[in-house]
Amino acid sequence: MGGIELEPPLRDITVVALEQAVAAPFATRQLADLGARVIKIERPGQGDFAREYDRRVKGMSAYFVWVNRGKESVALDLRAGADLALLDRILARADVFVQNLGPGATDRLGLGSQVLRDRHPRLITCDITGYGPTGPYRDKKAYDLLVQCETGLLSITGSPDSPARPGISVADIAGGMYTYSGILTALYERERTGEGTALSVSLLDALAEWMGQPYFAQAHGGAPLTRSGARHPTISPYGHYGCGDGARVFLSVQNDREWVALCERVLREPALVRDARFADNPARRAHDDELTAVVEKHFARHTADGVVALLDGAGIANARLRTVAEFADHPQLRARDRWREFSSPVGPLRGLLPPVSVAGREALMGAVPELGAHTEAIRTEFAKDRGQEPGTGP
């Protein structure tokens, strides 16, 4: 990398995570990548149920591998007084406590946010829920696809004939990202005030934020939004177009300047610029089927590679539809050296560096823990005779 290697920014922060599935683990993994010590509390024998989602990664779950590297796994039975007391000793020296158990679970264990904040004033607590701590849905179980349904996302995703689930867990990812940024904000605030705080993130609220543009378009646009497959519902041309070799190229025209460039330099039909059907984006979207026919008539004269070359030459954004396997060997990621190896119980695995690059620092990519791998070490470290020193982080 060159230059001086900077210390991880969260190297003095200890995070205790009573977590499962995706949202909370995704947030705490990012804290681990920044150097935080993340102590993951799991159920003895079973662990985080995401460990059992699949066996695709040499016998391990792809979900679990993705969101749990760099953590210490501690198997505790929180129904047993001794293990619950051990957890409290850990929390006495922790900076952050994150949990996304079912509704009311932490309260029943005596680990509610207010109880912990009264006991440990410097502790930052974060509760991740499906639908929030109040309201008629407070006690309703929530999983990613179900939250997508409740926010209306599925009503605008898919083909005109059928809704479709996005290929990734967008509600969990949204919740995890807001948890991550909220914790960083709370740590910054504690640096100035000396006091912790209580955070609450719901998957519904997180994904609802991402539904802002569809909401405003629907609330003020009259006709209901419709599913448009792989085409953009409000911008045209924006989507996939067939080429002469049977392949498809995706392109996006975002403004009238790019529309002129497409007509004059790619389609070689400058008269289209003055065609009333395509005079501006709302008009183009209203006549999208006709516009698609015009574009594909010209693209039929070229291979997909030829179309990409024309679009690149005209400054028109475009892409080829890649499979996941092709993404894994993407030339841009390879050229920028974005892949790294990290350890796991099944041997070395390859993963991408986190998206934020900082000069002089590379994110830590620690090992994926085996269930309970750190239990005995934690029991020794936080034995009763070691005391209950408060966290030393900022």
From the list 56, 139, 72, 80, the residue with the least C-alpha distance to 104 is 139
Cis, bond preceding 214 (omega within 30 deg of 0): no
* Separation CA 295–CA 297 (nearest Å): 5
Considering Cα of 62, then 67, then 68, then 74, what sign does the dihedral take? negative
Q: How far out from the chain centre does Cα 10 lie?
A: 20
Contact 253, 237 (CB under 8 A): yes
Considering Cα of 267, then 270, then 272, then 273, what sign does the dihedral take? positive
Tokens read off for 335: 């050229």
Output the CA torsion 315→320→325→327 (10° steps). 20
Tokens read off for 393: 């982080």
Residue 164 burial by CB count (10 A; 0-12/13-18/19+): exposed, middle or buried? exposed
| Active-site annotation holder among 232, 287, 330, 374 | 232
DSSP 23-52: HHHHHHHHHHHTT-EEEEEE-TTT--GGGG
From the list 336, 342, 334, the residue with the least C-alpha distance to 365 is 342
Rg (CA), the chain: 25
Active site residue 374: no
Active site residues: 232
